[in-house]
Structure 1
């Protein structure tokens, strides 16, 4: 009897325990917060029972935790033994005698029937096989119990949404239930094994279903998608979901440099809540608006959201420099007293701890031509805007060494300009020369120079040596892009070789863009850095001269380009202007050819002119005229768009190779514009000379830009020139004898 009574008592106790167990064991994955209270990827051993109500005594007191987002699942179904599937990479066994280690619960156990629970901030406790939930010490009832079905734990969507503070809605068009948390969106459909996370379809471990008007989905479909960690407490028979999501905080410093006692520090903060909560508070440690002493300082920033959660601290080390000192301006002259027309040598002795950015001289002249005191000033500025000024007074005597005109001829630096009486130049003797031409096709896209709407600016076909001159202004009122498109309409692949290229702009100044394009064109001849091979298949189109399309043109911007190419097949070239970001290939078939304005466009043959001068020059005043349509005739061609007759006024785009075989000893060679202002460059014996230095232009007819001086014997001088867009022609190269030097 005693044995029978003991057996009955044991069965009754076992049945009572089974009432509080989950219907099925679950696979649990290692948590985000390992520690004494976390158990990683353990296996629950349950006694086999047709109603799954038994429990192996070896499992008593076990706590399962899952910190990663993954489905809690097991093998089999309600008719199986309910053994949990081990996590990937585990063999499902334990060392020793096979017992699962007993671990203390992560939180105070709660048994079904309790009315309160102790939870951490942001925790939601879901009772297994129960509709009871606990949050912040309060009990809530779900519309339907959390249950395990086919090895997967299911939760009522509405239950977790209400407790987590997510947004819930329904899309009548797609028949989807929508959960939103901040920028994250989950979409579920009834009776499906898939759902969408931010528009991407993903698979769930089980099929969604409805029971008693409650939409049930796998719990871990939500935790995985929203990166929510959880724990399974086998003692308390509950799942503990961590809903706390910390806000995030960071900051940057807007100053490039921070100077002690000077710089107002610009703190640029960034803060947000992953779940869209309002940031209500911030806290700084070590922040100073102005650091009074140099050194390294650590500044820390954190924020608090409306739920009371603080972000992790974010720290930056700020390096504070000592105050900068102004530069020291200083210069000397080689003497204190000079004759009129005597060269003054200046030596700049200015210093600064980091380097001088600007030097501004006042009254600094190579010589003076009136007697009396002359005060010269120098202002030097460093990169921080600090400056200092120094001045020195010298004395000019009544003695005359050189007249101003003779002095300028002898001592004006190469590339600088000087004033003279240019009205006498037409009376000078003309230099006689002969010329030949090279077969180079010039494609001049320069009209409409001012473009008021997008369209086709120029179209032409060419083979062999080809030169592009492109010069346009954007007056559409919108940002625009420009392209040159090469199309191969042949049956064979075309080989296109880019040899030289110079691009200027986008710039608001036409003369500046024009000068830069010619300067860079000549520089590419010196360096060869613009050489490029391009292969274009039959029927293919490619954008070429990529510098042109690399920068968007703002309203009023000017671009200018020179380039030399060679093609072994006849190519079609299209110069187009389209809206910023518009695909030029898609736009090309629909672009209308824009009408020309007063400027010139056209295609011209034989566009390299070789000028040779064999007679002696420089022994007496003489001039070599370029671009006058008399001794240097203009090119004749046709408009590639309209086929109309064209004359290249000024021969813009023509490359002049001028060789003077015999230039007399002591000859001054200068550039004198005759048609208006000129700003450009010219290559003299391989060196690029500005017209003029310091970004100055030359004015016709009374300014001269110094190009070259010969020495004590005859010399050969070679000039390479092409007219800079935006400037005026014609011009003269002047040759005259230098005055005798006095020692």
Structure 2
């Protein structure tokens, strides 16, 4: 009787056990005899295992499924075990290898030059008409029929078979299909997709055996079993030439507007019906602009013409040719405010003000930001507040402007309207802001109160907190590469750096500039310590913003890292090499140190190819008017007693030479003053008799800062915009009656000193 067994690929695979060789060398898998061994003879030891070949043990029974466990047998019985009934493809084999209880008369198989013929428990194999000898015969184990892996993989399939000693896995690769088999767990991976197999592989005498059903399913082999001759005949599937897939796509619109999402429909196909496995998009023929999906590289392009290309790969590994189309991206027009006015003709002082406006823009695009300003009509054009007025507290005419920004980033032209405030008082500014406001709110002070006229507060300067303050801020605007500042610190300290790139754009493009901060141990003993609160900001052309954000984050920063330097060792604390630092942009940074030994800190401006070890040989740019040097104060501590005050009082900080900390310039060996006391914390402790509001009023030209209350987070002051003149102020909090609170302030990089803190009792709010 002859039964035909044909198995084909299935979308979901349930696999038989896999047998895989787990040795380390090229002799993994089937070992052919004299004629079949491409390497020549295969010397073996007394047990028939190749020399210098580690043979893994058979997996223990507990690693197999319960119904797959191999029962105890007498020596030699393993090869004689027959398949169990009902086991898929293997049920086609005889139950006990006999016919009617007697051993059948074995007939020699007919040799077919188009087939491979193997006989159960026989090492003789007919490979396309050629006789070869195997070291291990095909066999039945636990109801599964096993064939030598390398023989089937390399001799029959002509596939690539590799062994990975590290992962203990075997890979069979043919025609773009990759099958990975594990020898340590019942898993396999078909083109990267993990599946579970129902038993572990087996290895005998250095040869890996694989279930015949697994091979037939994975590689579409045609297999016949002849009961009379107990032979397995394997015929390779008919090889049909694989036609490359065809890439095709079309855009959903003929053109798009800059900022609009570009959408394309992929219509690629494979003439052979194979699955499209991979897509690759490319922009303007540039290999660096490729991605698996178009929206990753071309979601909202700018105005212009673009060539979009696509190619695809089928499941067999063949790529299509590139196909290309050109798409036009139209300019994105800025939005336009077409109507803008206050909702009432007049407002009382302190009355909430509301506005209405209409605009025109692309219908698919949203408005993402608004920019408001307002000022007294009698004030200079540049003396405005950068916020939307919610109420105004002084009689007069006020000019309000509005700009809107679309999602593409276009700002509209300014729209302007006028608000009239009457002489009727609903609320004062102090009453409203100090009761309902938020820390950082701006005091518009249109009545132009001069906070300098406040009474001097009863303030006592307590002992300064000593330490080493290292500041590199000169030349603030740098036009030459080289060493900016350097000195050695020990113990408690703080490092501050603030510099602006002033190199010509062409020069900067040819040699991208970097700001670096380095710590180095120039002693003969190891040095340890900590670096804490490390904060950097920029590059940005908004110098005030950089200084404010640096201060905000420094106040909130609780990070700490260990610093360990062996003799002669150095480490880079900061390097802006990954940032595009353009002309006019500022970089600021600050951190605290606690050092058990001397550490030399260096701040330098380098080109992209300059080496740190070359810094000592580089020039030293000339110092300008901005402060630079090493100082011996880290914090100033002030106590303000308001328990006997019922008037508005003030405390002015950083106002003159008698307060500025003095030190030395380590590069020039000259005495210097820290004008404004940059980098020094002011801890102001306040005790009040009644609820007392605290305001911050800058007395210099430009200011944009931050403050922090003890046991609280830091706040921007002002929360929006900046102060262009000394008649503005920011609300920074309230000290409750009988309460003692500590406020921390530092002059932000880029802003001006001095600043005034005003203390206003509740009795003066109305």
Aligned residue for 2:643, secondary structure, equals strand
Tell me if 1:652 matches 2:678: yes
| Contact 1:251–1:270 (CA under 8 A) maintained in structure 2 | no
Contact 2:635 2:680 in 1 (8 A): yes
Counterpart in the other structure of 1:50: none
Q: Is the 8 A contact 1:330 1:378 kept in 2?
A: no
1:372 & 1:450 partners in 2: Cα distance?
42
Match of 1:543 among 559, 565, 572: 572
Query: CA distance change for structure 1 residues 409 and 457 in 2, over 3 Å: closer, same or farther?
Result: same
The aligned counterpart of 1:127 is: none
Deviation digits for residues 465-486 of structure 1 (CA, Å, limit 9, x no counterpart): 1101101112233221111111
Instruction: Report the secondary structure of 1:606's partner residue.
Output: strand
Q: 2:230 maps to what in 1?
A: none
Q: Deviation of residue 459 (structure 1)?
A: 1.1
The within-5 A match list for 1:330-729 is 340-344=348-352, 357-359=368-370, 365-368=389-392, 383=407, 399-402=424-427, 413-417=438-442, 418-419=444-445, 421-423=448-450, 425-426=452-453, 428-477=455-504, 478=508, 479-524=512-557, 528=558, 530-545=559-574, 550-585=578-613, 587-614=614-641, 616=643, 619-629=646-656, 633-660=659-686, 662-685=687-710, 686-700=712-726, 702-711=727-736, 713-729=737-753
How far did 1:737 drift? 2.6
Give 5+ residue unaligned stretches, structure 1: 1-81, 104-243, 274-288, 291-298, 304-308, 317-325
Change (3 A) 1:414 1:472: same
Cα deviations by residue, 1:95-144 (Å, 9 ceiling, x for unpaired): 956664389xxxxxxxxxxxxxxxxxxxxxxxxxxxxxxxxxxxxxxxxx
Q: CA deviation at 1:338?
A: 8.8
Closer, same or farther: CA 659–621 of 1 in aligned 2, 3 Å: same
1: CA distance between counterparts of 2:697 and 2:415? 37
Equivalent residue runs for 1:123-272 within 5 Å: 268=282
| Kept after mapping to 1: 8 A contact 2:555/2:714 | yes
Give yes or no for contact 2:532–2:560 (8 Å, CA) kept in 1.
Answer: yes
Report deviation, 1:434.
2.2
CA contact (8 A) 1:481 1:580 kept: yes
Give TM-score, length-normalised by structure 2: 0.51
Q: Secondary structure at the match of 1:623?
A: strand
Cα shift at 1:680? 1.2
Deviations 1:246-268 (A, max 9, x none): 9998999999x989x97666885
Within 1, Cα distance between the matches of 2:744 and 2:286? 63
- Whether the 8 Å CA contact 2:470–2:629 is kept in 1: the answer is yes
1:641 deviates by 1.2
Q: How big is the shift at 1:331?
A: 14
Q: Is contact 2:537-2:549 (8 Å) kept?
A: yes
Q: Which residue of 1 aligns with 2:83?
A: none
- SS in structure 1 at match of 2:564: strand
Q: Which runs of 5+ in 2 are unaligned?
A: 1-33, 43-107, 117-241, 265-280, 288-297, 300-307, 313-317, 326-334, 375-387
Larger Rg: 1
Equivalent residues in 2 for 1:94-105 (5 A)? 100-101=113-114
Instruction: Give the drift of 1:659.
Output: 1.1
Change in Cα spacing, 1:330 to 1:571, as seen in structure 2 (3 Å) is same
Deviation digits for residues 41-95 of structure 1 (CA, Å, limit 9, x no counterpart): xxxxxxxxxxxxxxxxxxxxxxxxxxxxxxxxxxxxxxxxx989759999xxxx9
Q: 2: CA distance between counterparts of 1:643 and 1:684?
A: 38
SS at match of 1:514: helix
Shift of 1:532: 1.4
1:607-640 CA deviation, whole Å, 9 max, x = no partner? Answer: 222222345375212111211236x621121111
Report the alpha carbon displacement of residue 716 of structure 1 after superposing the two structures with TM: 1.5
Paired with 1:506 and 1:386, the residues of 2 have a C-alpha distance of 22
Q: Return closer, same or farther for 1:341/1:371 CA change in 2, 3 Å cut-off.
A: closer
Identify the residue that residue 132 of structure 1 maps to in structure 2. none
2:350–2:429 Cα contact (<8 Å) kept: no
Q: How many residues matched?
A: 468
CA distance in 1, matches of 2:248, 2:285: 6
Deviation at 1:678, TM superposition (A): 1.4
Task: Please state how far the C-alpha of 1:496 moved relative to its aligned partner.
Answer: 2.9
Pairing of 1:295-314 with structure 2 (within 5 A): 311-312=320-321
| Matches of 2:389 and 2:251, distance apart in 1 | 46
Note closer, same or farther for the CA distance 1:694–1:427 as it changes in structure 2 (3 Å cut).
Answer: closer
C-alpha distance in 2, partners of 1:390/1:555? 32
Per the TM alignment, residue 541 of structure 1 is displaced from its structure 2 partner at its CA by 1.0
Shift of 1:508: 1.6
C-alpha separation in 1, matches of 2:454 and 2:764:
24
* Cα distance in 2, alignment partners of residues 609 and 375 from structure 1: 42
Alignment of 1:84-95 (within 5 A): 86=38
Aligned partner of 1:43 in structure 2 is: none
Separation in 1, partners of 2:248, 2:500: 45
Structure with greater contact order relative to length (CA < 8 Å, sep ≥ 6): 2
Q: Which residue of 2 aligns with 1:58?
A: none
TM-superposed deviation, 1:606: 2.4
Distance 1:722 1:501 in 2: 16
Q: Residues 348 and 580 of structure 1: is their aligned pair in 2 closer, same or farther, counting only changes over 3 Å? A: farther
What is the alpha-carbon distance in structure 1 between the residues aligned to residue 765 and residue 449 of structure 2?
24
Q: Deviations along 1:514-572, whole A, 9 cap, x unmatched? A: 22211111121xxx2x32112211211111145x5553422222111111111111111
Q: 1:373 to 1:569 in 2, by over 3 A?
A: closer
* SS of structure 2 residue aligned to 1:659: strand
Between the aligned partners of 1:639 and 1:252, the Cα distance in structure 2 is 67
Moved more, 429-438 or 359-368: 359-368
The answer as to whether partners of 2:398 and 2:420 remain within 8 angstroms in 1 is: yes
Would the aligned equivalents of 2:661 and 2:674 in 1 still touch at CA under 8 Å?
yes
* Cα distance in 2, alignment partners of residues 247 and 533 from structure 1: 57
**1:371–1:733 CA distance, 2 compared to 1 (3 A):** closer
Q: 2:378 matched to which residue of 1? A: none
Partner SS state of residue 568, structure 2: coil
In structure 2, do the counterparts of structure 1 residues 468 and 88 end up closer, same or farther at CA, with 3 Å as the change threshold?
farther
Structure 2 vs 1, CA of residues 402 and 532 (structure 1 numbering), >3 Å: closer, same or farther? same
Q: Name the counterpart of 1:161.
A: none
